[in-house]
Homo-oligomer: A and B are copies of this chain.
């Protein structure tokens, strides 16, 4: 079985590569809307499903597809990717001085069947100065990231005073859970 990563995220591509797996990357436009009544676990898996449905027609019979989705969850609300810089600044101001959760869902599908997993990491930002938020938004690409931040970026290094759980899960793939699972599946 050959592995296919169905994600445009360079972080996911790097992480899966660093785990030691060979794969090709496929992407497709997918509607990432969701039902805000659902739990965060249900939401990430529902968005994974939409991504998977969009890519699946391109998959060969000997291939296994992995799709993932990551959301930032603050006070019972999902923060998605900001539409523009002002929205990004607002999101980081909301996250400043607070604790939020990051959920990543993973769906794995081949002709034999499907598997899913969800991991959650708690992330706490210390108080961010507005000048640091503005510096980050100017010098990094916050618009392609849920919650307007990358934990591996400068803003994570100066701001993320505590996490509880997996760090790579916040980057976009729960590698510690995925690795033994995928290793077993690909054996």
Contact = CB atoms under 8 A, between A and B. Distances in A.
Interface of A: 15, 18-20, 126, 151, 154, 156-168, 175-177, 179-180
Given A160-B166, A167-B163, A18 B176 contact: no
A176 B176 CA distance: 25
Nearest to A129: B180
- The 3 A-B pairs at the shortest CB distance, nearest first, are namely A158-B179, A157-B175, A161-B176
A19 B158 contact: yes
15 contacts: A18-B154, A19-B157, A19-B158, A20-B154, A156-B167, A157-B175, A158-B176, A158-B179, A158-B180, A161-B166, A163-B163, A163-B164, A163-B165, A164-B164, A167-B167
Contacts of A177: 161
A68 to B, nearest CB: 15
Contacts of A180: 158
A72 to B, nearest CB: 17
A103 to B, nearest CB: 15
Contacts of A158: 19, 175-176, 179-180
A176 B126 contact: yes
A117 B159 CA distance: 17
A173 B117 CA distance: 32
Nearest to A125: B176
A165 B162 contact: yes
A166 B162 contact: yes
A160 B164 CA distance: 11
